[in-house]
Structure 1
Amino acid sequence: MMGPVLAACLLIILSTAWISQANEALCKKDGGVCSCNNNKNSVDCSSKKLTAIPSNIPADTKKLDLQSNKLSSLPSKAFHRLTKLRLLYLNDNKLQTLPAGIFKELKNLETLWVTDNKLQALPIGVFDQLVNLAELRLDRNQLKSLPPRVFDSLTKLTYLSLGYNELQSLPKGVFDKLTSLKELRLYNNQLKRVPEGAFDKLTELKTLKLDNNQLKRVPEGAFDSLEKLKMLQLQENPWDCTCNGIIYMAKWLKKKADEGLGGVDTAGCEKGGKAVLEITEKDAASDCVSPNTTTAIPIGTMTPASVIYDDIHEIKVPQENFQKFLGYQEPDHLPTQPQCLMSISGYLGLMMSLMLTSAAILYVFHFLKKA
């Protein structure tokens, strides 16, 4: 009686195994190299030394893993058929750019990894259609700048990593639309400053990593909105504790230390070895010039011929020299252009009158002499 039951069970097990193997091998038809799992709508093309994306990826794929290949470029319509895609891994390739419109049809995408590539710039609007994206990783690239409003459509983003790039500055308002963001990683860049109000809209932020940059200080009120912050990393920045511009940050860090925030002691002064939160107004008494303020040009400096005259606001010339040059002696103010012209034209008119009068007198004398 047990024999038929065991045989049926064995048949079911073997059938399940065969179906599973068939599913795993589905993408290998037509010479493909990827593995599929139809039950999970998942396609694994990782570590296959691919130089191009396979053309036989099922249209209902929800997870596509292309990491650890040799992709150096992507067609602009590479993913346009995969409208149900939710997870896309492009990390650890050789991508130098992302074509404009490459993610145009991926409105359901929730996770995008493009780490460990060679991206130097991002096209304007490259993420505009990713309205459901929750996680974006762009770390370990060669990004030197970010386009304005590049993240404006990512209102559901909770995780953004830009670490290990070459960012020197951030566009004003670049994070303003990321009101759901919980973790922001900007470590290991070349940031020298943070725009005023950069974090004002990040009221849900719990982790902020700004370590290993070139930050000397942050704008007044920069961290005021970060009430839910749980982790902060600020180490390995040359924080300038000699200028009174550091006082805001010192007071804020001290307050957060009393509230139990982790990482507030990671900001150390460039000189002196003190933690920024220990700095007092006496320590930072100097009213230092802002690094963005240009200093005056020394007297005697030659101005190149390529100077754009629209940028010259005022050229001061001694008033008396200007007056002597024009022959205009009104003491209270410099002559206007019409006045200058009147002075010159009057002078020429007087000279002409004298010449005509002299000629007339000579003519009369000559006439009388003949008579």
Structure 2
Amino acid sequence: MMGPVLAACLLIILSTAWISQANGATCKKDGGVCTCNDQTKNVDCSSKGLTAIPSNIPLETTQLRLNLNSLSKLSPTAFHNLKELTYLNLDTNQLQTLPAGVFDELKNLENLRIQQNQLQTLPVGVFDHLVNLDKLYLTSNKLKSLPPRVFDSLTKLTYLSLRENQLQRLPEGVFDKLTNLKELWLRNNQLQRVPDGVFDSLLNLNTLDLSINPWDCSCRDILYLSNWIREKKGTVSNIEAAECDGGTKAVLEITEEEAAEDCVYPNTTTAIPTTIITTLASSNDDDIPELPVPQENFQKFLGYQEPDHLPTQPQCLMSISGYLGLMMFFVLISAAILYVIHFLKKA
């Protein structure tokens, strides 16, 4: 009776070895494309020309670099198994949007970088579960507006960069919950005004860059910002660089006499001057259509699948060595089965 038992044990050992190899195939040491460090739990998949996220990134990974690739979209569950992540780098890709819920399982994340992409909008609540986030980089995208309360859950945030976007306005109370924020970068956007009180909750702020925005200094709405800059001058750096549209005067120098007009902006019931309507009509951001994303040839890189599909075990074989291992596995299985049949016939 020992023959069948030995054969069964052989099958179990071979199956375990094959599954282990497949699950580790993301890393170069197992034939994958990414560099993995078992001691630091870092996985570096940067600069690989990737069009999809590799399958089976080790679950214990704490730092994941996917920057300098060609990612154009993400699956809503792309990071749901990586609950230990503290650092995620998606810089310099081609992301046009973020799916709702994509970061929902990353409650330990402290540093999120999504710079130099093509983001035009952010889903409502996309950052709601990042309760330990310390730094958020959204520099150099195409954001024209922000969802209401988009940063409300980021109560530990100390650094926020929105510079080099196309922001035309800020929602009321957008920074109200960011009481620990120290640096805020709004440089190089299309802001003409800010809501009254928008910076009042930022009690720990030491840096705010408002430069290269077309601040409208002819309207009374600019007076909150002008007075706030004068009040914080010397305690918050960079704020004095804010200039009126055309660079004719610093915002902090504007007086009530100069800002005499009661300008009206969208979403009010008061009549809007024709010149303002014409300007805003060319850059309406309320209904930005979702752009079609071209299908990429995901077969270009062995072992990658479209991110909208969950990986299956055969898809995890990401290298020639993986396929050779699979072939060897089936050969040994067949040999074991023939051995069992031969033994039973003798019995």
Aligned mate of 1:69, from 32, 48, 60: 48
- CA separation of 1:29/1:146 partners in 2, compared to 1, >3 Å: closer, same or farther? closer
Q: In the alignment, which residue of structure 1 is the partner of 2:254?
A: 279
Equivalent residue for 1:264? 239
Distance 1:296 1:238, change over 3 A: closer
Describe the SS at the equivalent of 2:221.
Answer: helix
Amino acid at match of 1:111: Y
Distance 1:104 1:30, change over 3 A: closer
Q: In structure 2, the residue corresponding to 1:265 is in which secondary structure?
A: helix
Kindly indicate whether the alpha-carbon contact (under 8 Å) linking 2:62 and 2:86 is maintained by their aligned counterparts in 1.
Answer: yes
Counterpart amino acid of 1:180?
K
Helix, strand or coil at the partner of 2:230? helix
Indicate if the aligned counterparts of 1:240 and 1:271 stay in contact, CA closer than 8 A. no
Q: Tell me: CA distance 1:272–1:37, structure 2 relative to 1, closer, same or farther (3 Å).
A: closer
- Number of equivalenced pairs: 248
* Percent of aligned pairs with the same amino acid: 51
**Is the partner of 1:232 in helix, strand or coil?**
strand
Taking a change above 3 Å as real, the CA distance of residues 98 and 233 of structure 1, as seen in their structure-2 partners, is same
Equivalent-residue separation in structure 1 for 2:165 and 2:264 (angstroms): 24
Contact kept in structure 1, 2:109 and 2:132, CA below 8 Å = yes
Task: State the Cα distance separating 1:165 from its structure 2 match.
Answer: 0.3
Q: Which residue is equivalent to 2:88?
A: 112
Counterpart of 1:246 in structure 2 is: 222
1:155 aligns with 2:131: yes
Residue type of the alignment partner of 1:194:
L
**Alignment CA distance shift 1:256-1:65 (3 Å):** same
What CA distance in whole angstroms lies between the structure 2 residues aligned with 1:89 and 1:272? 40
Structure with greater contact order relative to length (CA < 8 Å, sep ≥ 6)? 2
d(CA) in 1 for partners of 2:205 and 2:67?
28
Q: Please, which runs of 5 or more residues in structure 1 have no aligned partner?
A: 1-26, 42-61, 299-371
8 Å contact 1:74–1:99 — kept in the other structure?
A: no
Correspondence for 2:182 among 206, 216, 219: 206
1:193 aligns with 2:185: no
Structure 2 equivalent of residue 50 of structure 1: none
Q: Is the 8 A contact 2:244 2:251 kept in 1?
A: yes
Q: Point out where structure 2 has 5 or more consecutive residues left out of the alignment.
A: 1-26, 275-347
Distance 1:271 1:37, change over 3 A: closer
How far the C-alpha of 1:142 sits from its partner, in A, is 0.1
**Structure 1 stretch displaced more, 284-293 or 130-139:** 284-293
